[in-house]
Copies of this chain bind each other. A is one copy, B any other.
């Protein structure tokens, strides 16, 4: 019986490690060129990291969101750069979106990372237990 309890406890511990991802991890899905949406995600990252400096936040940009990732194309660029340089969030852009729009890695806002496939990046994070927020209004 003790052995049973041991294994049951072990199972509970492992289950817990899945559910108790109480730490703050979010992947933001940004496919919008709308400045209200882009400003919202920037503001949210600031608020979250003010309250929870250890939060893990990631913005994945693809589709219509591309310009936020391109040097000289967004009025919010300096705020994106501050998020990256302050390690508040990682910002990743989809290589397929870049290719379709003839954007090269050299044209990106410094510090933005390229992923082969934005959607796969997002669902991978979901499978790792990160929360998912679609940016939109």
Q: Does A123 contact B (CB under 8 A)?
A: yes
- Digitize A78-92: 1 where CB-to-B-CB distance is under 8 Å, 0 elsewhere: 000000000000000
Tallying the copies of this chain within the complex gives 3
Q: List 27 A-B contacts (CB under 8 A).
A: A8-B10, A11-B11, A15-B18, A19-B129, A22-B127, A24-B120, A24-B123, A25-B123, A26-B119, A26-B123, A31-B136, A31-B137, A32-B136, A34-B137, A40-B63, A48-B117, A48-B119, A51-B117, A63-B137, A64-B137, A119-B131, A122-B131, A123-B133, A127-B129, A132-B132, A134-B134, A134-B136
- Option from B3, B14, B31, B137 in Cβ contact (under 8 Å) with A11: B14
- Digitize A14-36: 1 where CB-to-B-CB distance is under 8 Å, 0 elsewhere: 11001101101110010111101
State the A residues within 8 Å of B (CB): 3-4, 6-8, 10-11, 14-15, 18-19, 21-22, 24-26, 29, 31-34, 36, 40, 44, 47-48, 51, 63-65, 96, 117, 119-120, 122-124, 126-134, 136-137
